[in-house]
Amino acid sequence: MNEDHRISKEIEPVAAVLKVFGLLAALGERKDTSISELSIRLAMPKATVYRFLQTMISLGVVRQEVESERYSLTMRLFELGANVLQHLDLIEMAKPQMQMLSEKTSETIHLGVLADSEVIYINKVDAKHNLGMYSRVGKRAPIHVTALGKALLAWEAPERRDIAMAGMIYTRFRKNSVVGPEQFLEELERTRQRKYGLDNEEFEEHIICISVPIFDHWNSVVAGLSVSFPEFRFDRSRMDEYALMIIAAGRAVSLDLGCSAYPPDRQ
């Protein structure tokens, strides 16, 4: 393959993305429009417009009116945008409590949400010590061995919890790891009783983590807040103190989001 052909192959996907965004922008400017109008507006062959529209229909982003055969956007893009805004609002609202926990513990603080059958970190405050938990925003982690995962699922609606658990793989990362659904459900019950999730060196060696859920105005769990300690800096005699501290932080963020009871009564 010569250099010109290779560059051409690399440009093709970029051109396709630009065409898709051009179509989305054009559709967003009008309530509905036809293939001919889109073709003229974007200087794009009708066959190309049709091909892209059919793909976008299959993804639920575009719909076609049966009678007029004209095309318009669905609410799917609005839903995606709303999810992003929700996370941005959540991150801003959680920042003061994350900073407070960082100042009081000097340890790594995470804000995480459920993503399919995993936890994803959406914000982080690094430990003030040289040695802390390694992680990054955007990193995913398994649910069954993380304090965040346990806090998120312990108060999740049963149907959503079942969906998440159906996709979980119970890998044994450490000797303390939960290794099956029955054991995990028992751990969720313990989490609800004590009001926080605990990772006792179950995922990363020598790391202990405590996490609490965050609820929105529907009293639905939307995120989790956690503190991660290296084992040698974790004072087990202060467990209750740590727990009360992070529970208070979770409650404060939840109240800011409109939660009426913390934590809500959920089985």
**Ordered structural domains, the chain, with CATH:** 3-74 (1.10.10.10), 79-256 (3.30.450.40)
CA distance 248 to 91: 17
pLDDT of residue 198: 97
In this prediction the pTM is 0.67
Asked whether 121 and 97 are in contact (CB, 8 A), the reply is no
pLDDT of residue 89: 81
Instruction: Kindly tell me if the per-residue pLDDT of 13 is higher than 50.
Output: yes
pLDDT of residue 6: 45
Instruction: Kindly tell me if the per-residue pLDDT of 10 is higher than 70.
Output: no
Q: Point out the least confidently predicted range of 7-16, 135-144, 215-224, 247-256.
A: 7-16
Here the tokens at position 231 are 């084992």
Q: What is the mean pLDDT of residues 63-73?
A: 87
Q: In which band, very low, low, confident or very high, does the pLDDT at 74 lie, cut at 50, 70 and 90?
A: confident
Average per-residue pLDDT for the chain: 87
Q: Point out the least confidently predicted range of 75-79, 119-123, 190-194.
A: 75-79
pLDDT of residue 131: 65
Q: What is the mean pLDDT of residues 226-247?
A: 94
The structure tokens 């690094």 sit at: 126
* pLDDT top residue among 80 and 3: 80
Q: Point out the least confidently predicted range of 19-23, 91-95, 129-133, 246-250.
A: 129-133
Here the tokens at position 171 are 């890998």
The structure tokens 């007029």 sit at: 68
CA distance 114 to 22: 32
Q: What is the mean pLDDT of residues 23-40?
A: 88
Closest CA to 231 of 265, 214, 250, 207: 207
- Per-residue pLDDT tens digits for 247-258: 999 999 999 988
Instruction: Kindly tell me if the per-residue pLDDT of 137 is higher than 60.
Output: yes
- Per-residue pLDDT tens digits for 161-207: 999 999 899 999 999 999 999 999 999 999 999 999 999 999 998 99
What is the percentage of the chain residues whose pLDDT exceeds 70?
88
Q: DSSP string of 104-156?
A: HH-SEEEEEEEETTEEEEEEEE--SSSS-----TT-EEESTTSHHHHHHHHTS
Q: Point out the least confidently predicted range of 25-34, 76-85, 180-189, 255-264.
A: 76-85
